[in-house]
Chains A and B, each alone.
Chain A
C-alpha cells in the first residue's frame, strides 16, 4: 500500500511559534487529495506523534490540495531537552503512514 512519503508531493514541518509544530502534506492533485483526505485518519497521525487525537488540529484544504496538522510541542522549542530547534524533522514521522 502507498505511504505518505511516496504519495505526497512534499511533506514538511516547522515551528508555529515556540509552543506548536505544524505539518503540511502537499498532495499532487485534487484526486489524490480527495482520496487521502478520506483515507488518512487523524488517529494514525496522532499515534506516530505519541499524542491523543484531540491534541492534533487538522485542516483539509481542498483549494491547494494540502492536509495540515498542528499540535503542541512535546518539548518547548529551544528548551535544553529539545532536539530539533526548528521542528523541521517532525514531518518525517508521517513518512510510513499508509494512505
Chain B
C-alpha cells in the first residue's frame, strides 16, 4: 500500500509556502507530519522547558496546519513540541490547539505523548545497567541526574503509532526523533522499513533536501520497495545529488542512522531522478536492534550570567587588545578577591575579543588587523545578583584600564547604559546516554482526549 506524507517544513515556527501546502492537501496525503524541535539552539530551551520560536508565529502556522488537516481529513502529527519536547511545551501546544479548535469549531481527538523522564527512575535504571553510554562518553552520576531541570527521552515510531492507533486526529508529541513522526504511518501500513526511515531522514528538514530549501513543503510517497520525494513549491527541484547530500546534514555518520529499535543503513541505496524534480530511492536497509533503546537528553543549570561589552577603538589598544585583557583580568581577579572575598572558583570570568578571535578562540588561525575590537566580558556565578555585582566592580576598569602606568587615563566606549546585561540562567547539556526499555511505551505517557469546539468531552 502506498502512503503519502505531506511535510510542511523542517520545523513548526519557521514558516512555509502556503500555496505549496495547498497543493499538497489537494494531492490527498495520508498524514501531515512536522517536527517542532531540536537541540541545535542550545540547552536553554530544554533547561527551561520553553520554545525558541515566537508564540504568535507558531500559532499562525499551527492554525493553517489545523485547517489543512480538516480539509485533508487525515492525522496531523507534530513531533518534539516547542523545541525541547518537555511536558510544558506539549501542554503549550495543547492549549494552543484547544484555542484554535474553539475558534474554528473543530471536533477532534487529540493525543498527547509525554517524553519526560524522572531523575529517580534513571538512577534506578543506572543501578540496573539499563543506561548506555554514547560516544564521546561523558560521566553519569546520581548528582548529575538530579541536577537536570528537565530530562527527555527521544520517542521512536512505536509511541507515535500508539497515538495513531488510538484514532488521534492530532498527535502532539514530546521529544521524538526527527524521523519518527514521518516514518510511523508508512511503517504501520507496510512500507519497506529501510525506505520508511530513509525517506523520513530525507524529509525531516522539509525542502532542505531540494534546490529551494526555504520553500518548506515536500511530499514523500512510501511503498513496499522504496520512496519517492517531490518538492511542492513552484520552481523547487529534488535532484539525486540534493537527496543524497541530505544524509550529510547534521549527521556525524552519513551512511548509518541509529534510531530507537534499530539502525538505518543507506550504503546500498540507489537514488534515481524520476523527472526534473522528483527522486526515487530504493535499496536502503533497516537493521533491527536486539534491544530497544531510546536516547536521553538532559539540561542542568550551570549558573547565572551577566555580560558587559566595551569597544576599543584607539589604535594602540586595538593592536594590544589581547595583552590589555590579560592585564585587566589579573587586576580584576585580585580586586574581586580583596573587595568581595571571592575566589576564582566562586565565579567564571571570560573575555572574548570580537574582531580578533571571539568565534574560534584558541583555534583561530588568522592574524587580523581590525579597526576596532569589542571586548565581551562574561561573568557566571551561582546567583544573578553576585554575577552582576562582580560585573559592576569590573565596570570602571573596563572603561578606563590603562596599558601603562605613565599615560593619561584612557576612556573606552560603552555602547549602552547600564553597561551590564543580565543574561539570566545558563544551562548545559549533561547527558549523552541511552535508556534500555522492556517495552517502547514503558517510559512514555500517552493521553487521548476528545474535544468538541475546544472543550474536552471525553478523556482516557
Contact A74 B248 (CB under 8 A): no
Interface: A64 (CB within 8 A)? yes
Does B254 lie within 8 Å of A49, measured CB to CB? no
Closest chain B CB from A55 CB (angstroms): 9
- Tell whether, in the assembled complex, residue B253 and residue A15 are in contact, meaning their CB atoms are under 8 Å apart: no
Asked whether any CB of chain A lies closer than 8 Å to the CB of B449, the reply is: no
A80 x B380 contact (CB < 8 A): yes
Judge whether A80 and B352 touch: CB under 8 Å.
no
Q: Given known contacts A22-B251, A63-B244, is B361 in contact with A83 (CB within 8 Å)?
A: yes
B305 within 8 A of A: yes
A61 at the interface (CB under 8 A from B): yes
Chain A contacts with B in 42-91, Cβ cutoff 8 A? 48-50, 57, 59, 61, 63-64, 66, 68, 70, 72, 74, 76-81, 83-86, 89-90
**Cβ contacts B429-440/A at 8 Å (1 or 0 each):** 100100000000
Given known contacts A18-B39, A66-B245, A96-B365, A80 and B426 CB-to-CB distance under 8 angstroms: yes
The chain A residue with its CB closest to the CB of B136 is A72
| Residues of A in contact with B, size category | 35 or more
> Are A93 and B360 interface neighbours, CB within 8 A?
yes
> How many A-B contacts at CB < 8 Å in the complex?
103
Question: A1-39 interface mask toward B, CB cutoff 8 Å, 1 = contact, 0 = none?
Answer: 000000000000011111110101010000000000000
A93 engages B302 (CB within 8 Å):
no
In the assembled complex, the Cα of A96 lies from the Cα of B380 at a distance in Å of 35
Is B253 within 8 A of A80, CB to CB?
A: no
Is A59 touching B255 in the complex (CB atoms < 8 A)? yes
Q: Which residues of A contact B135 (CB under 8 A)?
A: 72
Is B360 a contact of A92 with CB atoms below 8 Å? yes
Of the candidates A15, A76, A89, the one whose C-beta lies within 8 Å of that of B359 is A89
Closest-by-CB residue of B relative to A75 is: B361
- Residues of B contacting A48 in the complex (Cβ-Cβ under 8 angstroms): 363, 365
Given A16-B252, A78-B427, the answer on whether A85 and B432 have CB atoms closer than 8 Å is no
Asked whether, in the complex, the Cβ of A76 is within 8 Å of the Cβ of B428, the reply is yes
When the two chains form their complex, are residues A64 and B136 in contact, meaning their CB atoms are under 8 A apart? no
**Partner pick for A83 among B44, B245, B359, CB 8 A cutoff:** B359
B103 contacts chain A at the CB level, 8 A cutoff: no
**Which chain A residues lie closer than 8 Å to B305 at the CB level?**
80
Is B167 an interface position by the 8 A CB rule? Answer: no
Contacts of B44 in A (CB 8 A): 78
Cα–Cα distance between A66 and B242 once the two chains are bound (Å): 12
Given A85-B42, A96-B365, decide whether A79 and B428 contact each other with a Cβ distance below 8 A.
Answer: yes
Contact between B254 and A76 (Cβ–Cβ < 8 Å)?
Answer: no
In the complex formed, the residue of B with least CB distance to A17 is: B39
Known: A50-B362, A89-B359. A19 touches B253 (CB 8 A): no
Binding site for A on B (CB under 8 A): 39-44, 134-136, 138, 241, 244-245, 248-255, 302-303, 305, 348, 350, 352, 358-363, 365, 378, 380, 426-429, 432
Interface of A with B (CB < 8 Å)? Answer: 14-20, 22, 24, 26, 48-50, 57, 59, 61, 63-64, 66, 68, 70, 72, 74, 76-81, 83-86, 89-90, 92-93, 96
23 A/B residue pairs, CB under 8 Å, sorted by A: A14-B249, A14-B250, A15-B39, A16-B250, A16-B251, A19-B134, A19-B136, A22-B252, A50-B362, A59-B253, A64-B244, A64-B245, A66-B248, A72-B135, A76-B138, A78-B428, A79-B43, A80-B303, A80-B380, A81-B350, A83-B360, A90-B363, A96-B365
Top 6 nearest A-B pairs (CB, nearest first) are A78-B42, A70-B252, A16-B252, A72-B136, A18-B429, A78-B43
